[in-house]
Chain A
């Protein structure tokens, strides 16, 4: 993995002058574990190597041993930020296999929660972005705004993070007209605050840190198959909501536009997200204006519906806050699953990090890593490296538990 910068430099010289810095798996700038092995000369990054898998929880395998309703609650726990995207994607596949058509009102409500989730996810990222560049005040302000959205979630669904809104053939909670009024009032407030956040991001010191940084041009974006705001920041006009409309997006097509920026730098990706918040607010306003009447879910018990879903397979797509989320679902016809495959947007986006990071400074790493909004998950093993012997051994969860128990016994 040695990068030759000029032909005169021998490999050995490069070896001497560079310093290897491990970025992660635990690092204040990372919210979830990923390991980037970064080689630097002075402050300049010359090579990046990436290790994933600290987060493997075996969810797909777990899902194969459970029935469909249990799986629904399991996959909601894949991500704490885009939990509704995951369940929507899964439910859509099930509904296609079982040819169940949810009511119009249910689809609109799904879309409502979906867009609120996008706002909450984007605000979260904007806050993290501010935190990475050392602007704690903006971070606090942004998360203060985000708190309002979470309160709104709690009012509508009863939960702040894992909304458990979706069920086969519909949604679980209805929106009363009083709640609709509240949502509208909140949206006005959030629009105002987001405008303020935008003006803070265009401030001089912030711009200095995030402009012309981590550039991913159009061709690289296409080649590396990046998705979501990362792709749109490089001028690639893709959005599942427009390209393959699902839920109620077909009817809401005219109410929002796809935001793209040509620069492909961190600032472009951030700006795409800021403007997507405004677009989401537009969609929510349109939904509240045009919310159809009707039932929100079938009368029949959900377990009966589950048992009626035949053997079959389906692929489902949604536009999660971070980009295209893909599910492949294969049912066994007895209320269980044969295979579940999840392809999350971050998986597509992570590889582009290498292209963005090489040539930048150490100070830019957290900003660039944050700019693709990586969403990984939690860890299940520990690697202990004995530096004296130069050996490393991997300790799994069970032996870690045993070690902890032994330590407590000794006390």
Chain B
């Protein structure tokens, strides 16, 4: 597919798929709790309702920042996910690389944080400081894992080069070498924190700080924040499935030529990754405290990622 066309159709596709993913996640979560749960299309209804609501800006907020930040957050995460998807669709690397995607996804969290802390609500401030510590905890191992992947494959930072490298190996990257397996493990361990779900939903803990930086957002702003979160969750799962575990290659050359099949396989795989790294932890675990979460990330994923980069530099 032509890169320009791919990039044009990507944003609506990303929006559709990521909201559908959120709906599936909520349904499975509910069934695991013996609840009936909302219909899979519930996130769409939520968004329609939120967008039709009144805009409220608190008196204490610095209005410009408060209003623009959700838009920036939604836009950058949509951009990041679209770059990723259009790269996979077009099979060329003209649009952007791994670092850009990771940067845009992190940027979306940062934008929401700033917007929330501009609301003038003390809970927003606490949420900001918690999110700051959490980002320091999980972003560093995550980036090291990505860099380790870049070293380990060809070396290249372009998503398509990594996919082609996997195809030429005939193996998913995570299964190719111990260093890559460690990098994949690090990335997957960082997923629940990046998606900020229980046990790592500390920055927006509902019963503690009432959704933290999201506390004053409502109506269209909240809808934008929700889009930002859903899209960046989807982008992370898709990234993990494309870069670490590109499964379609196991079905042989014929399948790879068919874009539809390889893409849908990739999506199913990212759904599975979402189930393992987002739905299951948030169902079976209790929320940690900020100190405990920080300790976890610097004890396990950080050490894993560093050992991965050391191993890949010695060629393992």
Contact = CB atoms under 8 A, between A and B. Distances in A.
B286 A209 contact: yes
A28 B30 CA distance: 20
Interface of A: 19-22, 27-29, 40, 42-43, 130-138, 140-141, 144, 203, 205-206, 208-209, 361-366, 387-388
B147 to A, nearest CB: 31
Contacts of A363: 202, 205, 208, 287, 289-290
Interface in B302-316: none
Given A362-B208, A366-B207, A136 B33 contact: yes
A137 B207 contact: no
A362 B205 CA distance: 11
A347 B129 CA distance: 35
A326 to B, nearest CB: 31
Interface stretch (B70-78, B118-126, B224-232, B263-271): B118-126
Contacts of A208: 286, 288-289, 292
B135 interface: no
Interface in B105-137: 122-123, 125-126, 129
Nearest to A370: B207
Contacts of B287: 133-135, 209, 363
Contact of B207 (A28, A141, A206): A28
For A42, A141, A206, A362, the residue with the greatest tally of chain B CB atoms inside 10 Å of its CB is: A362
Of B33, B126, B129, B287, the most chain A CB neighbours within 10 A belong to B287
Nearest to B292: A208
B92 interface: no
Contact of A362 (B34, B60, B209, B292): B209
A221 B123 CA distance: 32
A42 to B, nearest CB: 7
Interface string B190-201: 000000001101
Contacts of B199: 134, 205
B64 interface: no
B28 to A, nearest CB: 12
Interface in B202-221: 202, 205-210
A360 to B, nearest CB: 10
Nearest to B282: A136
Q: Tell me which of B122, B126, B286, B287 has the highest count of chain A C-beta atoms within 10 A of its own C-beta.
A: B286
Contact of B59 (A22, A28, A138, A387): A387
Contact of B122 (A20, A29, A130): A20
Contacts, number: 84
A137 B210 CA distance: 19
B288 A209 contact: yes
Contacts of A42: 129
A19 B287 CA distance: 24
Contact of A205 (B122, B129, B288): B288
A135 B282 CA distance: 8
A211 B290 CA distance: 16
Nearest to A208: B292
Q: Which 5 A-B residue pairs are closest in the complex by CB-CB distance?
A: A134-B287, A135-B286, A29-B207, A140-B33, A133-B286
A40 B207 CA distance: 17
A209 B290 CA distance: 11
Given A29-B207, A132-B207, A366-B208, A137 B32 contact: yes
A362 B126 contact: yes
A154 to B, nearest CB: 21
Contact of A28 (B201, B202, B206, B292): B206
A131 B208 contact: no
Most chain B CB within a 10 A radius of its CB, from A22, A134, A138: A134
23 contacts: A20-B122, A21-B122, A21-B126, A28-B207, A28-B210, A29-B207, A43-B290, A134-B206, A134-B207, A136-B198, A136-B282, A136-B283, A137-B283, A140-B33, A140-B35, A205-B199, A208-B288, A208-B292, A209-B288, A362-B208, A363-B205, A363-B208, A387-B60
A359 to B, nearest CB: 14
B63 to A, nearest CB: 15
B285 interface: yes
Contact of A209 (B126, B210, B289): B289
Contact of B286 (A205, A387, A388): A205
B34 A140 contact: yes
A102 B286 CA distance: 48
Given A132-B207, A144-B34, A209-B288, 20 more contacts: A19-B125, A21-B122, A21-B126, A22-B122, A42-B129, A134-B198, A134-B199, A134-B201, A134-B205, A134-B206, A136-B33, A136-B283, A138-B286, A203-B286, A205-B199, A205-B286, A208-B289, A363-B202, A363-B290, A364-B289
Contacts of B205: 134, 363
B206 A137 contact: no
Contacts of B122: 19-22
B208 to A, nearest CB: 5
A27 B34 contact: no
A137 B290 contact: no
Given A43-B290, A208-B288, A209-B286, A27 B59 contact: no
B101 to A, nearest CB: 29
Given A19-B125, A21-B123, A137 B59 contact: no
Nearest to B289: A363
A15 to B, nearest CB: 15
A205 B199 CA distance: 9
Contacts of A209: 286-289
Nearest to A136: B33
A362 B123 CA distance: 10
B4 interface: no
A209 B198 CA distance: 13
Contacts of B123: 21
Nearest to A206: B286
B272 interface: no
Contacts of B207: 28-29, 131-134, 366
A141 B34 contact: yes
B284 interface: yes
Nearest to A30: B207
B34 A205 contact: no
Contact of B208 (A29, A138, A140): A29
Contacts of B208: 29, 362-363, 365-366
